[in-house]
Amino acid sequence: MAEGAFRAVASDRGLACAIDSAGTASFHIGSPPDARAIAVAQQNGIDIAGQSARQIERDDFFNFSHIIVMDRANLEALRARAPRGATAQMAMLLDAVDGRQGEPVADPYYGDVAAFETAWSDIDRGVHGWADRFLREMAAVGD
């Protein structure tokens, strides 16, 4: 959901950047998003049905400026997996939301549709926060 949400926000704000999502585990590689995630994203005007899961790769730590995760466990897993000299900054999605720094986006997988709606709300706030941050940083570099 976060990839689709960030793509939409970046497009709306004219933020040109490479966006992709990847997991730390391999068990869903090649699978589409959960049907509940697709439905909730669609209710919010975002089509994620064509996405497929992949696992993070070594090159991601160099090809992306930022790797944003949903929770502390994934952040720690990525930090442990990061190759020497990795250039990507790693952070949690809600770190860009005032008052929510360090908070996880709750994993909705074992919940009902309401859990996915709650996750979408957090994701939406997080992607807007990161878009704001990236645009401010780009403006500061341009000054």
Q: Which CATH architecture has domain 2-142?
A: 3-Layer(aba) Sandwich (3.40)
Query: Is residue 116 within 8 Å of residue 33, measured between CB atoms?
Result: no
Contacts of 35 (CB under 8 A, 6+ apart): none
In 11-136, which ranges are E strands? Answer: 66-69, 89-92
Rounded (10°) angle between helices 2-13 and 113-142: 40
Tokens of 109: 């997988």
Query: Is residue 88 within 8 Å of residue 60, measured between CB atoms?
Result: yes
pTM of the model: 0.92
Q: What is the pLDDT along the chain (143 residues), one digit of tens a residue?
A: 999 999 999 999 999 999 999 988 777 788 889 999 999 999 999 999 999 989 999 999 999 999 999 999 999 999 999 999 999 999 999 999 999 999 999 999 999 999 999 999 999 999 999 999 999 988 888 75
Tell me the backbone φ, ψ of residue 67, rounded to 5 degrees.
-125, 115
Query: Is residue 103 within 8 Å of residue 78, measured between CB atoms?
Result: no
